[in-house]
Structure 1
Amino acid sequence: MHIRDLPHPDPGVPDVRTGGRFLLWLYKKQLGGQAKALLWGLVHTGAVASFPVPVGIAVQAVVDRDGSRLALAGGLMALLGVLVTVGDTMLHRSAITNWITSVARVQQLLARKTTELGSAMTRRVAAGEIVAVSTGDLEKIGWFVEAISRFGAAALTSVGVCVALLVYQPALGVVVAVGVPVLALAVLPMLPPATRRADAQREKAGLATELASDTVAGLRVLRGIGGEELFLGRYRSASQEVRKAAVRSARMWSLISAVQVALPGLLLIAVVWYGVQLAQDGRIAIGELVTIYSAVAFLLYPLRHFEEIAMAYSFSRPSAKRTARLLALSRPAGGRLTDHGTLDGDLHDPVTGLTAEAGRLTAVVCGDPDAAGRLAARLGGQPAESEDEGVEGGEGAEKAAATPSVLLGGTPLDDVPREAARTAVLVQDKDPVLLSGTLGELLDVPASGRVDTAGALSAAQCGDVLAALAQASVDDSGDPMRTRITERGRSLSGGQRQRLALARSLVTDPEVLVLDEPTSAVDSHTEARIADGLREIRTGRTTVVLTSSPLLLDRAEQVVFLHDGKVVARAPHRELLRTHPAYRAVVTRETETEAAADAPADPAMATTTAPAGDTRHDKIEETA
């Protein structure tokens, strides 16, 4: 494949059982490119290995004063020089093509996996790990794939030179044939500790990258509490740990390099010493000695490729293992139902027993915020792998596979294609991401057309956000839609980001909208208006809001209370406040004992039992 043909039409289905199998699969996917690089490598190394022959002929011709043989040697050298130049150029071109195409294939696989998993990826794999795999690990994998062809050519040429020396001069050929394999294998005992040190360096680098990304993501908060120096100190400490690990790893690899220089040098000295003895005895001619010396000197060149492939494999194997582990993450994507019809109706989760009736606003209260996040992901068709966080390999996959699918109108979401499930059900995470670009681009999303941008922004109470963006417009147009929003919306407050993300979700207008704590960063008055706007704009559509806010709960047509991962109560908000102490404890943040003691017998008094200063109770009172 040529670079101009990238991206790959189909990157394929990788073998992710182990890192080694992944590397083998990657190699097999470009056998044509590897064969081309190996061919040009043989041309290059073969021409270099053949140089001792015309050199020996030239030396002997000078000794014998034979002009014709000297001219022949010069012609052979010129021909070999052309072959060396062409072979080296084409080998480099082919090898780099293999590197780029293999890295591009893995990048496409990672992009496809990111699209498949969505926001669930960062819940299952640390962001720093994903960044490290997408950058440093890809480089190491590409290095190994690219080095294979050069190593193969060097190995085949070395075998050919040893065989030729055995035939040409058996006495010295035996020394070389025995010594070269010993030299090639001499570094094997040092590779395991070198690999362990490289792994330690990579792990520390990943932790430092994760710390840096977390620090940048929370920079606004850190500045607010004056914590920049604290985190800067932590990063400096992590950076020093990476430096120490890198130096420790480099020392081992420098030792391997020293061995690869010292041992071949000793072999060369031994061959020259023995060859001189043979020449003094008249058993070989001077030209033959020069030829053998040049051939042995050439063998030092492919030995460097042995060192390179050993180093490339040692670095790429753990990188391939991490990449394979990332690519092994899965969720139902293909779907078994091709003719599933329109996806609508009640949304039912068999795991918790939750049922959100079609066309109604249902609020869900969970005592555990993490459980709420897992429920939101599952309602969107994402299996509950995060519940089994820390479970390795097949065990976690078996548990995820055993989890029954969420049903929409009686149709399991796992049984329909991923695109259809995502069109029908949209999940807005607790911490939604705003991509960089203008506000108009942010709201330019696939939509049903029923809800316009102005209506969505109004329902999400974004008036003050639009005014602030209009003032910050760089082109002085005063048009907030043309104002640029920084990556992740870091130039906005948390409440502003939440409201813009909510407006984006409302513009999409899916059949089912799942919102996880959509108003946790806004004030009570704004929250009340958002609750009213949400109920009005989502009329006739199924909406599920996971929240413990009394304002949102009071506007919901139905409230479902989950305890220990199961539905234990279903009723309007005020009725649950009056009759269910555990629900009241979660919503008002009292203990169950206090909630039971405070619960009034008269439901009309349910809004007057709040202690002074409790904001949650203030919100309850506002709903009365």
Structure 2
Amino acid sequence: MQIRDLPYADPGVPDVRSGTRFLVWLGRQQLGGQVKSMLWGLLHHLGIAGLPLGIGIAVQSVVDRDGGRLGLAGVLLVVLGAAISVGDVMLHRTAVTNWITAAARVQQLLSRKTAELGSVLTRRVAAGEVVAVSTGDVEKIGWFVEALSRFAAGAVVLVFICVGLVVYQPALGVVVAVGVPVLALAVLPLLPRATRRADIQREKAGKATELASDTVAGLRVLRGIGGEELFLGRYRAASQEVRTAAVRSARMWALISAIQVVLPGILLIVVVAYGARLAFDGRITVGELVTVYSAVALTYHPLRNFEEIAMAFSFSRPSAKRAARVLALARTTGTTTADDGNEDRTAAGDLYDPLTGLLAPAGRFTAVVCGDPDVAGRLADRLGGHPADPGEDHTSVLLGGVPLDELRLDTARTAVLVQDKDPVLLSGTLHELLDVPRSGEVLPDRALAAAQCDDVLDALAQVSVDTDGDPMRTRITERGRSLSGGQRQRLALARSLVTDPEVLVLDEPTSAVDAHTEARVATGIGALRAGRTTVVLASSPLLLDRADRVVLVHEGQAVAVGTHRELLAREPRYRAVVTRETDEELAAAAPPAALDPLGTLEGHADDEPGGGLDATDELEALEGESA
């Protein structure tokens, strides 16, 4: 696999049972690149290992005054130099290719998982951890894959040197053959402690990243309540913990590096002392002593690969563990894979949730009322095919009698679209915002009109850099921070409407707009989505009154169905949620006849000061100021 061939057509199915298994799987996927890199590494290291032989021959030829052998030694050194140069260049090239392609594979796997889970991902895993995995952790994993081939080449060369020296000069070769494995394995007792410290550092760094990400995302809210200093203090404390953990980890790795330097030096002293004695006794020649000395000195380079692979594994294992944890997430347990039998499944009909008993008839505008906003959010996730909690019941929602889990993922997504209560607007122009996969039946101008975005278009036209003031070409800042909350919400609604899915699920789509605009938005949704299945989770009377049918979900079960006015008249639990008042408060405030069709209390202006506002008027007065 070459960099120019990226991205992968299929990154594969990873082994996510553990971080180590994930690294092993990743290494197997890079097997061809690893072998190629190892072969170039062997050429490089063997060229270095051969230098002592050439130097020894040259020294001995000078001692013996043999010009022919000196010329031969010169040719040998030139060949070895060329091998070292070519091997080093190609080793670096292939190793970096392994690094980049491995990192690209992991990023593709993460992107695929993110696309599969959608917004549910950040409910399962903190957003900061997702950021940490897709950036720093990917680099750590790529580092291990890259270092693996160099380590394999270095290990083979060390074996070659030890065997070669034993054959070349047994007396000194045995000393080297015994000493080199000791050097390579000397740091093993320190690796568990170094690994633990590296794990602690990565864990604390991940938490600090999560804290920073969450703080930045909620900075405007924090400033509004004066809480930025509190969170800044928390981040300072987390940052200092990361620094302390990094220093402790660095001390251990510094000790390992020192051992890797000191022990080869000791071995070199032993070889020189023993070799000098053998040369003095005439048992070896000066050239042989120089050869063995040079070989031992050059073992330092391949021995460094042992330290590098230990460090790379220690840092990449927790990163791989976190990546495996994200990649192990699934839409639901028991999700069937897309096969040929599922390709013919239709995605139309009534939407039914067996867990709650909620039924949304095909082609109708259904409103769902839940007393708890969190319950509403989890229900919206379920209707989109995603359980919000890994521990909850994974009974699949049915669309036209077919479980969503048995549909192909692309088919299910085309059929059902869920808009969260806090949708995100990415940076770009308004045209790019609305340039999403869609049926083509709903044009952007119709969707914008239905979402009542006239004032948004006017505001964008005023700041447009185009001479004609085209709002569609005006850039929107990240998350739409240049717009008000109501404007962002309506643009997100327009984006959902333009996709024109078979089933559209909206979770509190008008919570940030004033009552007058909310009424027009409700009318626009009903008109634009005529003949399509629409489910709105809300408790606003203005939205509920325009729905074809309303379902009350109480304690996780659908307990009442009817129109908004019917439920107001006969269901006290529904009145408690919609009017925000209990039956006792309603009875004390006015007789039942005083309820208007939208379920609000008709006050009497002459009874007490300020009594001329009903509940809807109060809502308009409060929200009208923010609009």
TM-score, length basis structure 1: 0.93
* Corresponding residue number in structure 2 for 1:618: 616
Distance in 2 (alpha carbons) for counterparts of 1:304 and 1:497? 56
The secondary structure found in structure 2 opposite 1:514 is strand
* Corresponding residue number in structure 1 for 2:389: 387
How far 1:508 sits from its partner (Å)?
1.4
* Corresponding residue number in structure 2 for 1:2: 2
* Corresponding residue number in structure 2 for 1:392: none
How far 1:482 sits from its partner (Å)?
0.9
Distance in 2 (alpha carbons) for counterparts of 1:372 and 1:58? 84
How far 1:579 sits from its partner (Å)?
2.9
Distance in 2 (alpha carbons) for counterparts of 1:427 and 1:528? 21
Distance in 2 (alpha carbons) for counterparts of 1:239 and 1:592? 53
Gaps of 5+ in 1: 389-395
* Corresponding residue number in structure 2 for 1:448: 439
Distance in 2 (alpha carbons) for counterparts of 1:333 and 1:119? 21
* Corresponding residue number in structure 2 for 1:393: none
- 1:574–1:603 Cα contact (<8 Å) kept: no
Letter in 2 for 1:51: L
The secondary structure found in structure 2 opposite 1:560 is strand
1:619–1:181 distance in 2 versus 1, CA, 3 Å? farther
Q: How many residues align?
A: 609
558, 564, 588: which is aligned to 2:579? 588
The one-character-per-residue Cα deviations of 1:574-613 (angstroms, maximum 9, x if unpaired) are: 3333333332222233457656877954485653278989
- 1:550–1:619 Cα contact (<8 Å) kept: no
* Farther-moved stretch of structure 1 (414-423 vs 197-206): 197-206
1:209–1:339 distance in 2 versus 1, CA, 3 Å? closer
1:154 lines up with 2:154 in the alignment: yes
Distance in 1 (alpha carbons) for counterparts of 2:142 and 2:312? 9
* Corresponding residue number in structure 2 for 1:345: 349
1:194 lines up with 2:187 in the alignment: no
* Farther-moved stretch of structure 1 (216-225 vs 483-492): 216-225
Letter in 2 for 1:116: E
Q: How does 1:310-329 map to 2 (within 5 A)?
A: 310-329=310-329
Distance in 2 (alpha carbons) for counterparts of 1:238 and 1:207? 8
* Corresponding residue number in structure 1 for 2:12: 12
TM-score, length basis structure 2: 0.92
The secondary structure found in structure 1 opposite 2:206 is helix
The secondary structure found in structure 2 opposite 1:522 is coil
* Corresponding residue number in structure 1 for 2:498: 507
How far 1:40 sits from its partner (Å)?
0.7
How far 1:229 sits from its partner (Å)?
3.5
Distance in 2 (alpha carbons) for counterparts of 1:483 and 1:271? 75
The secondary structure found in structure 1 opposite 2:258 is helix
1:88–1:277 distance in 2 versus 1, CA, 3 Å? same
Distance in 2 (alpha carbons) for counterparts of 1:512 and 1:52? 75
- 1:116–1:333 Cα contact (<8 Å) kept: no
Q: How does 1:353-364 map to 2 (within 5 A)?
A: 353-364=357-368
* Farther-moved stretch of structure 1 (98-107 vs 333-342): 333-342
- 2:602–2:614 Cα contact (<8 Å) kept: no
Letter in 1 for 2:409: R
The secondary structure found in structure 1 opposite 2:445 is helix
How far 1:450 sits from its partner (Å)?
3.0
1:610–1:432 distance in 2 versus 1, CA, 3 Å? farther
Letter in 2 for 1:618: T
512, 519, 541: which is aligned to 2:532? 541
* Corresponding residue number in structure 1 for 2:601: 608
Instruction: Give percent identity, aligned residues only.
Output: 71
How far 1:573 sits from its partner (Å)?
2.1
Distance in 1 (alpha carbons) for counterparts of 2:594 and 2:337? 50
* Corresponding residue number in structure 1 for 2:136: 136
* Corresponding residue number in structure 2 for 1:371: 375
The one-character-per-residue Cα deviations of 1:37-70 (angstroms, maximum 9, x if unpaired) are: 1111111101100111111111112222222221
* Corresponding residue number in structure 1 for 2:607: none
| Runs of 4+ residues deviating >4 angstroms | 591-606, 609-616, 619-622
Q: How does 1:40-59 map to 2 (within 5 A)?
A: 40-59=40-59
Letter in 2 for 1:343: A
The secondary structure found in structure 2 opposite 1:492 is coil
Q: How does 1:498-577 map to 2 (within 5 A)?
A: 498-577=489-568
The one-character-per-residue Cα deviations of 1:139-166 (angstroms, maximum 9, x if unpaired) are: 1111111111111111001011111122
How far 1:619 sits from its partner (Å)?
6.1
- 1:347–1:406 Cα contact (<8 Å) kept: yes
- 1:220–1:490 Cα contact (<8 Å) kept: no
* Farther-moved stretch of structure 1 (156-165 vs 58-67): 58-67
1:161–1:621 distance in 2 versus 1, CA, 3 Å? closer
How far 1:224 sits from its partner (Å)?
3.5
Letter in 1 for 2:16: V
Q: How does 1:266-305 map to 2 (within 5 A)?
A: 266-305=266-305
The secondary structure found in structure 2 opposite 1:359 is coil
- 1:608–1:621 Cα contact (<8 Å) kept: no
Letter in 2 for 1:372: A
